[in-house]
Amino acid sequence: MPQYTPPLRDMQFVLHELLNAVPQLNEIPAHADLDADTINAVLEEGGKFAAEVLLPLNHSGDREGCTLDPATHEVRTPKGFKAAYAKYVEGGWPALSTDPAFGGQGLPHLMNQCFYEMLNSANQSWAMYPGLSHAAYDCLHAHGTPEQKSLYLPKLSSGVWTGTMCLTEAHCGTDLGLLRSKAEPQADGSYKITGAKIFISAGEHDLVENIVHLVLARLPDAPSGSKGISLFAVPKFNVLAEGTIGTRNAISCGALEEKMGIHGNSTCQINLDGANASLVGEPNKGLPAMFVMMNAARLGVGNQSLGLTEVAYQNAVAYARERLQMRSLSGPKAPDKPADPIIVHPDVRKMLLTARAYAEGARALSMHTVLLLDRELKHPDAEVRRACADEVALLTPIIKAFFTDNGWIATSHCMQVFGGHGYIAEWGMEQFVRDARINMIYEGTNTIQSLDLLGRKVLGDNGKKLKAFGARIAEFIEEEGTHEAMQEFVNPLADLGDKVTKLTTELGMKAFGNADEVGAAAVDYLRVVGHLAFAYLFARMAKIALEKKDSGDPFYTAKLATARFYFAKLLPETAGLIRSARAGVAPLMAMDEALF
């Protein structure tokens, strides 16, 4: 069975040494008294919950899956999931970063992100139930009416109820402008919704007494396309004015999807047959409201793959230290044993270090971004909020797509380390691979994220957001450029920064002549910019490690070695990606459709 140790030391390094997060959070009045000891203590307890309560349910939950009662439309989650959720609520974890006005603890989103990384490592399927509730909470907090906030937010904040997002329909996935679900206005100001949704994660379950569905639908006079979509709150059970549960609403689970992975999470086909609903936000402006939830979910999905990368790496390392196989090519390393442990072999080390580097790079970028998010939402200076919002917008598609691509690579590598045992369920590695694969698809496929990055976030504002991020990198390069020990990190970082600037300009010029050039280059482009962000943070981490390499703490020795591996073995991927992006659309469109 897999093992897991929460990576608290690396989290503390990123929080307190790389990001210097506490002073930045202290600039926010709500966090003025927050200190490092509090953060560390909360995350230590969160790690215990993940490792001791959730991890033992991951393999069994995958094997058992969820069960639908077709007569009642109720879903039973795997054994132990409901009891674990009760402990989660009892511990106050749902309220960690929610608004004190609605029963929350008001701690930074950054702490919640760290906590959820550990939950995802321990049991991604389980973590999706409360994780989606956070996204629903954020949406209603931003766009809900006072009545909706009063009814729903205290319940979501406490974890007594959970939430979902109901977007996808069988005939449309990403293209929400095609959706057909209808909302009929009622005389009392409410609505009745009729339609069918698919792929609804945590859409029905037995963990809580009520579920608040956020549903996209069309009003009768709505314009066509995405401009005619409205957002509605649809509870599983109707909610009375005082907040108590009333009769069963006309929304139900018609079927559970049979899936490749995340078996412990109920992925539902949801039917709405005149379900009672209330409008969230303005009519026909449901997408902007839903994007609050979608962007939170995209950061969450990136965090899912970070969690899987970390747990897969830990187990692969443990196996590689114990598994004996052949002798080292340079001579026996364990002469007292019949063969050497496989960790001595260069390619095994390459696979392990790839997973380690992708985990540590993702942790740094994730925490960097969510610290910006905290400042965007609560900093007293409007200019700081605007600058942070721009960088969060730029980095969100990178976190979703780059992390999940890397998570697929890393979990596959870690399964490979186990050889034939990796393909056998009892070791748990094949589950990590299966669970990781969905993360590249849902909450907007990685191609959609790439189009968002290049088309909207970069070319859409003439490179303003990218230039601001590049200026941050250029300032670091200027500061460290004369330090000889930093040359192995600063020089390739500077070179890649120049190449990204040239590539962006070139693609922008091509897009003026043919918009398909954006589609042809976007996926390659996102990986290049993802590597730029990782290289910047690894260079900063290497600087700290160099300064402390003689401290006697092996943590810094390992951090420096990981950074050197990243620059030597992973960053060079960008050369091929840039060449591919520059090849343009012609090789993709030259073949006649009939010849495929």
**Which residues are catalytically annotated?**
443
Q: How big is the CA angle at 565 (ends 560 and 570), to the nearest 5 degrees?
A: 135
d(CA 68, CA 70): 6
DSSP for 460-496? GGTTHHHHHHHHHHHHHHHHHTT-GGGHHHHHHHHHH
d(CA 262, CA 127): 10
Q: Are 223 and 246 in contact (CB under 8 A)?
A: no
Give the 3-state secondary structure of residue 379. coil
Q: Where on the phi/psi map is residue 306: left (φ > 0), alpha (ψ -120 to 50), or beta?
A: alpha
Name which of 123, 76, 143 is nearest 278 in CA terms.
143
Sign of the dihedral through C-alpha 567, 572, 575, 576: negative
DSSP for 202-230? T-S-SSSS-EEEEEEEB-TTPPSGGGG-E
Both tokens assigned to 139:
């949406």
Name which of 540, 542, 522 is nearest 530 in CA terms.
522
d(CA 232, CA 140): 10
DSSP for 349-376? HHHHHHHHHHHHHHHHHHHHHHHHHHHH
Both tokens assigned to 190:
């409410």
Name which of 408, 580, 412, 588 is nearest 514 in CA terms.
588
d(CA 20, CA 13): 9
Give the 3-state secondary structure of residue 280. strand
Which residues sit opposite 272 in a β-bridge?
195, 251
d(CA 107, CA 97): 5
d(CA 197, CA 166): 6
Q: Are 542 and 559 in contact (CB under 8 A)?
A: yes
What count of other Cβ atoms lies within 10 Å of the Cβ of residue 312?
30
Crossing angle of helices 109-143 and 146-158, in 10° steps, is 150
Crossing angle of helices 554-565 and 346-378, in 10° steps, is 100
Token pair 């591919």 in the structure block, residue:
580
**Distance, C-alpha 566 to centroid of its chain:** 22
Both tokens assigned to 419:
């050889």
